[in-house]
Chain A
Amino acid sequence: MSGILFGERELRGIAERALRAAKGDQAEALVIGRTGSLTRFANSAIHQNVTSREADLRVRVVVGTRRATATTNRLDDEGIRRAAELASDLARRAPEDPTFPGLPAPRVIPSSPSAYVEKTAEATPLDRARAVKTMCDSATAVRLIAAGFVSTNVQEIAVASTLGTWAYAPETFAEAQIAAIGDDGSAFAQRVSMDVTSLDVNGAAAEAVGKATIAQHPRDLAPGTYEVVLAPYAVRDMVGFLGLQLNGLAIEEGRSFVGGKIGRSVTGPITLVEDPYDSRSIPRAFDFEGQPSDRVTLIEKGVARGVVYDSVTAHRGKVENTGHATPFLIQPAPMHMRLEAGDKTRDQLVAGVKKGVLVTRFWYTRWVHQLRTIVTGMTRDGTFAILDGEIVHPVKNFRFTQSYHEALGGVRGISKDLSLLMTGEQFGLMTSAQRVPALHLAAFTFTGSTRY
């Protein structure tokens, strides 16, 4: 397979050499290979154009209840041996952790749809440059400036342990982002696909350019609480933040809004699922401990139903491991969330607003109060006033300070189409894909504004 760094046989060989070199009661090897190529443009011209081949080995060694990890990208015999010995040495010196259950025993990994498309792996610099040119030409034709990127990515994940775990999967994805920028206003669009040949570059360009032409000369609108229609880019941010709390560690540390509320209503009538087998996402049937990943209903029609776990948090919480360990093993996470679709078109969502705001995208969002899921951030690249169901004019960008789950308490409409978006770069690879709709919410609080 071209574009792939190693292939299953090579990665298995690396993992097995690491496990043999480890000196402990148990050992685990995670090998990640990736080729990332990204062509970046600004001022309607390519200014950064990069490709890199990278692969890393992480060795985790367990001695009793002590454990440590070492990571290296030196994958010759000497490099592998050195990493395994380092982890072994550190594990022997580490303090005991009576709550550590040891490595998880191997379990059968169900089959899942393939996430690998050869043509994405084979994409060339010229392919990406041509896609960029398409987007730049669309903007230039209406006297706008284009900025953004086109990327094609290949990544392989392999996990092995001395207990017999073996899991391997190759993945590809392509992504296009564009901001179309005028003298006094901008708009944004994004597309993601496993298959570069179906990456809708023209659609992204049309969306950003079309929206940017009506985004010029934004007017002041007083901050306050408004009905909102959120494009999927903004909804993705909300889902991402809530996902940070829908895991066993957040429950354990007392920082989750669903802590003690499983079975109780926490939002309006939305359904949020973690679905690693969604063929329209970037499916992956196992986690970074090589455990099978379960489908988990996180919120069902507004009622909290569950959270995800890795082996350690499941053991401490005395529940089943759902198979959601992340590469750094810091905390488990849902990595394939889907906010279920509704029955409205996006135009119908806008048509349902009496007086409100259409938000394209959130920017620089950060926790203000985790337990109440209060987040602050800015709107960006396409914010509009809505009056009597019509977009009437662009408005200057707002700062918001809003509880995300409380905002989802007032869901008035959900679009019937979902957008595939990606976030969560960890360990040099993208770990999380989300499919989300546009939303019409009854109330969203903007606490300030800026001057553009």
Chain B
Amino acid sequence: MKNGRLDAVDRSDSFGFGVRAMADGAWGFAASQIVTAQEADRVGALAVEIAKASALTKKRDATLAPVDPVRATYETPMDFDPFAMSFDDRIKLLMNAEVRMRERKGLRTTRAAYAVWREDKLFMSSEGADITQRLTEVGGGIAAEAVGNGELQIRTYPDGLRYQNAGGWEILTRWDLIGNAERVADEAVALLSAKPCPQDAITTVILSGNQLSLQCHESCGHPIELDRALGSEAAFAGTSFLTPDKLGTFRYGSSQVNIRIDATSEGGLGTFGFDDEGVPASEGWAVKDGIFVGYLMSRETAAALGTRSNGTMRADGWARVPIIRMTNVSVMPGSAGTLDDLVADTDDGILMDTNRSWSIDDKRFNFQFGTEIGWEIKKGKRRDMVRNPTYTGLTPEFWGSCDAICSESEWVMWGTPNCGKGQPGQGAHTGHGAAPARFRDVRVGVIK
């Protein structure tokens, strides 16, 4: 919905198969949407032909860490199947929220959107795996935009129109879109005349949970991808400052910082039964008490480290080769209480909420983020609204300055349904649990 009318409604489906083959110690992949035995023969042979061509530049044979092939099934648990609902029932929620936003004067554009997504996949391997999975996700949100004073300001709820979780329609109804519509609209308009973010200042920053989730995605989730660390993405997505020699010893953040890799988390976009190499979903630590201790791995990269895969190979559909992707990489809750408690405990700083701009270098070291809105914090109170808030830093220094993370009551499983990686390009859905957190001595305000 946009400005009180339907902007777009689309239903899309795609069906096909891909074959990843190893021949002469090298990899080939071919895919087709013609699902017949004859086409399977052709595509399988093509994958082998491609693998043999790959061997032209081979330095050593590809080696895979072992996995126990299984016959299994997995299905995303849910309360209300979104595909069993009528379109009319689904759109009603958006229309009601959109109408409520438009009651506020001064908005240029209002938007409301939902997405329901399902993937049915069968994984079989020549090693004997036979795994069927059905994954279901639901997401959506509302947005209000105001234009004036040379500014375009936006507020969204719950997270930039890209909030998404694994599960059923209950995911969307647990957020009060209608109840928050008026506030979102008010804040978008108020931002036009809010004071600008302090320029080039060093201060304390409190990040909302949804912003911390993206901070984690970009500055922890990507650098712990072992394919990056080993150079496989060097020309495109980049490499990683977290090189294998740092594993187990490098201080990534303060002792407050604990980051978990967990493909079993309830509702996470990286929650599944098995990855696309047939490795079962697993859980473990990426960062424990501030120390970097774990990678996201495939069978091939795990073999390079002499260990077993932790099951993070995922393909963006049948026509793409699986690559290492984040599952759910989450910042675990601390003991700082609620967000109000954390603000009350902060003498001076800025609270920044909901991502609007994100950028990080190709080793995942230098980052800069902007959020939709900020508030000055003075003597433990949330004070004036701040527009165009931005902050920047270097990953280990930033996480090293984290001195408080809110408690479990504030922890939410957020999601990134649009993570790009690979060539040809692949999108992945990744989960990131997070609660608000505080960082000291952060550089803020980069635009004049």
Contact = CB atoms under 8 A, between A and B. Distances in A.
A49 B29 contact: yes
Contacts, number: 253
A51 B366 contact: no
B28 A69 contact: no
Given A52-B30, A96-B5, A254-B108, A149 B235 contact: yes
B359 A93 contact: no
B145 A46 contact: no
Nearest to B32: A53
A351 to B, nearest CB: 30
Interface residues of A, number: 94
Contacts of B365: 450-452
Given A36-B424, A46-B56, A51-B46, A380 B362 contact: yes
Please give me the 10 A-B residue pairs with the lowest Cβ-Cβ distance, nearest first: A125-B53, A254-B147, A147-B235, A71-B12, A52-B31, A450-B366, A179-B235, A147-B234, A52-B319, A46-B54
A51 B108 contact: no
B33 A53 contact: yes
Interface residues of B, number: 78
B232 A149 contact: no
A368 interface: yes
Interface stretch (B260-268, B386-394, B404-412): B386-394
Given A43-B231, A368-B390, A371-B150, A90 B57 contact: no
A125 B357 contact: no
A74 B15 contact: yes
Contact of B359 (A69, A74, A130, A378): A378
Contact of A366 (B5, B320, B359): B359
Given A364-B359, A368-B357, A86 B53 contact: no
B240 to A, nearest CB: 12
B181 to A, nearest CB: 17
A10 to B, nearest CB: 13
B53 A49 contact: yes
Interface stretch (B87-95, B160-168, B341-349): B87-95
B5 A47 contact: no
Contacts of B235: 42, 147-149, 177-179, 188
A133 interface: yes
Contact of A46 (B58, B108, B233, B424): B58
Contacts of B13: 71-74, 83
Interface in B42-83: 46, 49-54, 56-59
Contacts of A369: 152, 388, 447
B26 interface: yes
B358 to A, nearest CB: 6
Interface string A60-74: 000000111111111
A376 interface: yes
A318 B324 CA distance: 48
A254 B148 CA distance: 9
Contacts of B15: 73-74
B303 to A, nearest CB: 14
Interface of B: 1, 5-16, 18, 26-34, 46, 49-54, 56-59, 87-88, 91, 95, 108-109, 145, 147, 150-152, 230-236, 238, 319-321, 323, 357-363, 365-366, 368, 370, 388, 390, 392, 394, 422-425, 446-447
A355 B56 CA distance: 45
B152 A129 contact: no
Contact of A48 (B29, B33, B231, B392): B29
A89 B362 CA distance: 46
Contact of B29 (A51, A69, A448): A51
A366 B59 contact: no
B276 to A, nearest CB: 14
A213 interface: no
B439 to A, nearest CB: 17
A399 B392 contact: yes
B385 to A, nearest CB: 17
A374 interface: yes
B57 A133 contact: yes
Contacts of A377: 359
A415 interface: no
B184 to A, nearest CB: 17
B4 to A, nearest CB: 9
Interface in A423-452: 425, 447-452
A401 interface: yes
Contacts of B147: 253-255, 371
B14 A48 contact: no
Contacts of A126: 53, 56
Contact of A72 (B1, B12, B30): B12
Nearest to B239: A181
Contacts of A40: 423
A129 B321 contact: no
A95 B53 contact: no
Nearest to B52: A125
A450 B54 contact: no
B366 A44 contact: no
A369 B11 CA distance: 33
Contacts of A46: 26-27, 53-54, 56-58
A2 interface: no
Contacts of A56: 14
A380 B6 CA distance: 42
A181 B390 CA distance: 32
Interface string A366-387: 1111111010111010000000
A369 B389 CA distance: 11
Interface in A11-42: 36, 38-42
A451 B394 contact: yes
A448 B362 CA distance: 15
15 contacts: A48-B27, A49-B28, A70-B10, A94-B6, A128-B53, A179-B235, A186-B234, A255-B147, A330-B8, A364-B359, A368-B370, A368-B388, A371-B147, A378-B366, A449-B366
A19 to B, nearest CB: 18
A261 B11 CA distance: 38
Nearest to A137: B57
Given A378-B362, A399-B368, A450-B366, 9 more contacts: A42-B232, A95-B6, A149-B423, A151-B424, A178-B235, A254-B108, A366-B358, A371-B150, A425-B424
B382 to A, nearest CB: 24
A114 interface: no
Nearest to B363: A452
Contacts of A447: 368, 392, 446
A95 B361 contact: no
A147 B88 CA distance: 50
A44 B232 contact: no
B50 A90 contact: no
Given A49-B27, A52-B319, A378-B366, A69 B357 contact: no
